Structure 1
Amino acid sequence: MFRTIAKPEVLLTTLAAAGILMITMGGRQSFGLFIAPLDASTGLGIASISLALAVGQFTWGAIQPVAGAVADRYGPRAVLIGGIVLMALGCALTPFMGSGFGLIVTLGILANMGSGAGSFSVLIGAAAQRLPLEARGTASGVINAGGSFGQFVFAPVLQKLIQGIGWMNAMWALALITLSALPLVGKLTAGEKVHVQHATPDGGLKNAIREAFADRSYWLLHAGFFTCGFHIAFLVTHLPGEVNLCGLPPSVASWSLAIIGLANIFGSLYAGSCVAKYRSKYVLAAMYGSRAVLVALYLMAPRTELTYYLFAAGLGFTWLATVPPTAAIVGKLFGIRYLGTLFGLTLLSHQIGGFLGAYLGGLAITQYGDYTWMWYADMALATLAALVNLPIREAPVVRPATA
């Protein structure tokens, strides 16, 4: 499985991208742990704080195609450095905010713009440009696993910091940890680009986007990824609140998030290997379908610590393991010349779903006192996502002959 990335230069590029994602995703996916202490400290209310995090979900997705386009045109180095610094700045300024609007600006916009600029579209695009064809599937799984490992590490560490030194100091510590990703940028961008024959004639970025949006399979991919974003954002934002409703300690939530990250390491590596063996659309359909089954089983199970840990392990296996097959389909359809931009647009759809998952969860708990209807919506959308992936065509788009 790993023989394709065993060459030192290939391995270094892959691990550098995985390390950056470990920090940018690990920190961002742990923001939900700050909801309760933020509410207790500021009195802003869960709905207001959820709105800030929901804006963050959308912002993280909206910046992806922009950052991907800039990286495709000018190179990823400046984009990654700027993103890391911006994320650290957003985290560092958050403790000074005492209003909902302030949280939207710092935690919602600045931190998530930075995290998004240092995330999947730029990292996978930069790595793909520097890796041979046979190594890209496995490398994308390893890079994705880096983000999952970050969640596994960051969730319990940040929970301990919140309990030990307070949420403000924990947020400042997160800002400093974020800056530690800067040395890895040079390692990722130092390698020479692999000279490959792109699947697409280079008609420019605008033509590539126009071509993509005229393709039915690309839209179906967006629809499935939208529901993935809804699912992940709802859980990462409101799982601590769900645990609290059951009368369990906060550590259950942080360890559940950590288990999700740990399980997704194996899920991401497995998904990366599956890309080379099976049609990616079937891999995605199986992942989304399994989520609907797991949520149904959770709703029927007793609310105990073991239930949450088993639920987290099951969900974690597919958590962000959807990224390698989704990126693979985009690459198969349109080539890798503008992969950062086109995959970034699918991530925007993912985060539109993420905005709704985070914000509607806050409204549900405020209006009804629990998350029952959100779980039902999550099951329905997961089932829909499994179905819409099946008609996707996995072949390069047919283009008219050009002189």
Structure 2
Amino acid sequence: MFVASRAPSLKTVLIATGVVLTLAMGVRHGFGFWMQPISQANGWTRETYSLAQALQNLMWGAFGPFAGMAADRFGTMRVVLVGALSYAAGLVWMAVVTDPTMFVIGTGVLIGLGLSCTAFGAVSGIIGRVAPAEKRSWAFGISGAASSFGQFLMMPVEQQLISAIGWQNAFYVLAALVLLLMIPMTFYLREPALDHGDGPQQSIREAMSEAIRNRSFLFLVAGYFVCGFQVVFIGVHLPAYLKDKGIGDPSVAVMALALIGLFNIIGSYYAGKLGGRLPKRYLLSSIYFTRSVVISLFLLAPLTPFSVYVFAAAMGLIWLSTVPLTNGIIAGIFGVKHMSMLAGVVFFSHQVGSFLGVWMGGFLFAKQGSYDIVWGISIALGVMAGLINLPINERPVVRSVLKAA
């Protein structure tokens, strides 16, 4: 069990995790800019790069529960440190490896592990433990806003790096940033040993068993699958989609992805704030229904730079606003002792959806020369997720006295 002299303040935790999330999610959201230059340089189809990104998202999810367990047991500091090292190694790997199989495997494992240790699941536990119950949803909203700020900040940075110094050197610069900025932040995330009082204690196995037998938890898992499918498909394939449709100016795609990040700062913050006042399940359902409407209108409207920007702004408001609400429901139902682990389990479903969204985008485009079917699937899944979240019961579970863990 991890030990420290005293618990960090909520302000310190939010600043430190904010820097980590800003960089982790900001770099990750820009990977779509490398699809065409890497594919052209190595003579690959889009399917190869899409598969690498898909495996990365799947491994991110697969490592997530274990990163969460480690963060809950040994402390967030150690987990984020491992994640920073793995993330930087993965960026260098993407710059130097030219064999398609090794590129896919290395990118998937190294970046996937890095993200699992530096993104929402790994840091949600310390935020939930430090924040008072009445501020917990708001604190999750702040962390979501930080990740969105990273997307807004890093989109133009990454595109300019590729243009100015080449796609390979851009990876080296980003790897250095990860090491220089993330590692110092880990020292502000030391935690004391957890004091759970005299109430019921749970082992990891008991907590996991309780969660997977809870219907509301399973609904969250199913809904989060849809979230991953939609956002990663759009984030990775939107630049190529716009170019295919005749919008060849790369600045339009850069601005669109930056607008998603900018508006999601607002969306994530207010989703967390509203989650402290309104039923979170209804807010989640509204987000998923709205996504389907926004995507449908985007596809039906004439495609112009202006329509792209409107679509990006609208999607940004509901992009990662699911995160503070989902984590808030988990903490409210099950408590915070195993918060990171349970968030990691739900996030694994998100990443299975991400895997299918990004891979199907590349696969179906290679087969049909169009993204139309994947757009249609995204719309249908949004409606399904909206319905699934409605019957979630947010009340805390009632436990009998358990054997001390």
Quick check: TM above 0.5?
Answer: yes
Q: Is the 8 A contact 2:63 2:116 kept in 1?
A: yes
Q: Is the 8 A contact 2:128 2:331 kept in 1?
A: no
**Which 10-residue stretch deviates more, 347-356 or 15-24?**
15-24
**Which 10-residue stretch deviates more, 14-23 or 131-140?**
131-140
Q: Provide the rounded CA distance (Å) in 2 between the counterparts of 1:41 and 1:101.
A: 16
**Which 10-residue stretch deviates more, 123-132 or 30-39?**
123-132
Which SS does the other structure have where 1:181 is aligned?
A: helix
In structure 1, the partner of 2:183 is 182
Specify every segment of 5 or more residues in structure 1 that has no aligned partner in the other structure, as ranges: 1-7
In structure 2, the partner of 1:358 is 358
- 1:228 is aligned to 2:227: yes
Which SS does the other structure have where 2:276 is aligned?
A: helix
Aligned-residue RMSD, C-alpha: 1.6
Q: Is the 8 A contact 2:13 2:188 kept in 1?
A: yes
Shift of 1:15: 1.5
Q: Is the 8 A contact 1:127 1:188 kept in 2?
A: no
Shift of 1:202: 1.6
Read off the aligned partner of 2:103 and give its amino acid letter: L
Q: Provide the rounded CA distance (Å) in 2 between the counterparts of 1:10 and 1:125.
A: 12
Shift of 1:113: 1.1
Q: How many residues are matched?
A: 394
Q: TM-score, normalised by structure 2?
A: 0.94
Q: Provide the rounded CA distance (Å) in 2 between the counterparts of 1:243 and 1:387.
A: 31
Give the fraction of aligned pairs with identical amino acids, expressed as a percent: 37
Q: Provide the rounded CA distance (Å) in 1 between the counterparts of 2:10 and 2:95.
A: 40
- 1:117 is aligned to 2:117: yes
Q: Provide the rounded CA distance (Å) in 2 between the counterparts of 1:362 and 1:273.
A: 37
In structure 1, the partner of 2:385 is 385
Q: Is the 8 A contact 1:54 1:108 kept in 2?
A: yes
Read off the aligned partner of 1:186 and give its amino acid letter: F
Shift of 1:144: 1.0
Shift of 1:132: 2.3
Q: Is the 8 A contact 1:132 1:194 kept in 2?
A: no
Shift of 1:192: 4.8
Shift of 1:399: 3.0
Specify every segment of 5 or more residues in structure 2 that has no aligned partner in the other structure, as ranges: 1-7
In structure 2, the partner of 1:72 is 72
Read off the aligned partner of 2:72 and give its amino acid letter: D
Shift of 1:221: 0.7
Q: Is the 8 A contact 1:90 1:111 kept in 2?
A: yes
Q: Provide the rounded CA distance (Å) in 2 between the counterparts of 1:265 and 1:162.
A: 25
Read off the aligned partner of 1:185 and give its amino acid letter: T
Q: Provide the rounded CA distance (Å) in 1 between the counterparts of 2:308 and 2:54.
A: 24
Read off the aligned partner of 1:187 and give its amino acid letter: Y
Read off the aligned partner of 2:123 and give its amino acid letter: L
Read off the aligned partner of 1:48 and give its amino acid letter: T
- 1:328 is aligned to 2:334: no
- Note the alpha carbon deviations across 1:285-313, whole angstroms, 9 max, x for none: 01001000001100111111111111000
Shift of 1:104: 1.5
Read off the aligned partner of 2:318 and give its amino acid letter: T
Which SS does the other structure have where 1:277 is aligned?
A: coil
Q: Is the 8 A contact 1:68 1:122 kept in 2?
A: yes
Shift of 1:398: 3.1
Q: Provide the rounded CA distance (Å) in 2 between the counterparts of 1:195 and 1:23.
A: 31
In structure 1, the partner of 2:3 is none
After TM superposition, list the pairs within 5 Å mapping 1:59-208 onto structure 2.
Answer: 59-179=59-179, 180-189=181-190, 192=192, 201-208=200-207
Could you list the runs of 4 or more consecutive aligned residues of structure 1 that deviate by over 6 angstroms after TM superposition?
Answer: none
